């Protein structure tokens, strides 16, 4: 079997991350910052607006697996609360990043990720399909030093729907210039990752990190590995078929 591309999830597959958007303290800090922008909301009000608009986007979506857009959320909060600046297009992505920075409690690469990506680069086309926000994933891939390994990055917030919608996987392989059967996908969740990639016609690898659904009744991966560096052996096996 000729494999030409390796595609991966990001969070709790490549990156070990813990976030807490429900903690009040980030909204207290954000509220203090927004006062300098002419937006006078308390921490409680800001938190309420954020979660209300997040829920509203999901309710209004016609997608089976709706994704929210944090830029839209924060843009609406600014417009509806007397933001008077002329640079909303610039400040909204900055607020999304600030909100993320304040809610991240831990972020680091899993062991062996950098070395494995370095081994794969040049041998295969590399891609990402992630349920995330552009203003989260792009900076975090850069800060952890792995952004440049990837030939294309698909982030769900740009599309309005999430995994396991196979359109995300199809878009990725199309951008990589390969057929689905020529690509493998590695993820940590049998429903969002394995089901979606299999529906798109890709070979799947489930990585047994501590997060994500591992229910084999939802979808059965073609391969299961404990650590990212085991993907090298899986690819060698596939190449021999």
User: What proportion of the chain, given as a percentage, has pLDDT over 70?
Assistant: 99
pLDDT > 80? residue 85:
no
95 and 144 housed in the same domain: no
Q: Which residue has the tokens 């878009």?
A: 171
134 and 72 housed in the same domain: no
Q: How confident is the model at residue 38, as a pLDDT?
A: 86
| SS3 of residue 127 by DSSP | strand
User: What proportion of the chain, given as a percentage, has pLDDT over 90?
Assistant: 91
**Confidence tier at 79 by pLDDT (50, 70, 90):** confident
| SS3 of residue 18 by DSSP | strand
Q: How confident is the model at residue 240, as a pLDDT?
A: 83
CA separation for the pair 86, 93 (Å, rounded): 14
**Confidence tier at 121 by pLDDT (50, 70, 90):** very high
134 and 215 housed in the same domain: yes
40 and 140 housed in the same domain: no
98 and 154 housed in the same domain: no
173 and 139 housed in the same domain: yes
Residue ending a domain, among 84, 105, 126, is 105
**Confidence tier at 1 by pLDDT (50, 70, 90):** confident
Mean pLDDT across 207-225 = 94
Output the 3-class SS for 184-222. Answer: EEEECCHHHHHHHHHHCCCEEEEECCCCCCCCCCCCCCC
Mean pLDDT across 71-80 = 93
pLDDT in tens, 194-215: 999 999 999 999 999 999 999 9
52 and 30 housed in the same domain: yes
Question: Which residues span the domain enclosing 75?
Answer: 20-105
CB 129 within 8 A of CB 168: yes
Could you give the dihedral angle defined by the CA atoms of residues 82, 86, 91 and 93, in that order, rounded to the nearest 10 degrees?
Answer: 100
143 and 212 housed in the same domain: yes
Q: How confident is the model at residue 228, as a pLDDT?
A: 96
Q: What is the DSSP letter of 115?
A: H
Residue 61's alpha-carbon distances to 163, 195, 202, 232, in angstroms, are 15, 22, 27, 40
100 and 113 housed in the same domain: no
């Amino acid at each position: 079997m000729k494999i030409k591309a390796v595609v991966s999830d990001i969070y709790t597959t490549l990156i070990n991350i813990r976030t807490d958007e429900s903690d009040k303290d980030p909204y207290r800090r954000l509220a203090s910052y927004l006062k300098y922008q002419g937006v006078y909301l308390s921490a409680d009000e800001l938190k309420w607006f954020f979660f209300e608009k997040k829920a509203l986007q999901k309710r209004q979506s016609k997608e089976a697996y709706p994704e929210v857009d944090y830029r839209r959320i924060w843009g609406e909060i600014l417009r509806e609360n007397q933001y008077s600046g002329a640079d909303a297009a610039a400040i909204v992505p900055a607020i999304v990043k600030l909100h993320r920075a304040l809610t991240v409690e831990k972020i680091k690469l899993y062991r062996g990720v950098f070395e494995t990506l370095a081994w794969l680069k040049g041998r295969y086309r590399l891609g990402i399909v992630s349920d995330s926000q552009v203003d989260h994933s792009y900076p975090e891939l850069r800060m952890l030093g792995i952004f440049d390994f990837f030939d294309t990055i698909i982030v769900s917030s740009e599309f309005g729907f999430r995994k396991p919608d196979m359109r995300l996987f199809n878009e990725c392989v199309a951008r990589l210039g390969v057929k689905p059967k020529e690509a493998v996908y590695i993820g940590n969740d049998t429903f969002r990752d394995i089901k979606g990639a299999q529906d798109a016609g890709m070979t799947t690898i489930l990585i047994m990190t501590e997060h994500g659904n591992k229910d084999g009744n939802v979808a059965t991966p073609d391969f299961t590995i404990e650590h990212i560096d085991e993907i090298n052996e899986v690819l060698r096996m596939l190449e021999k078929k």
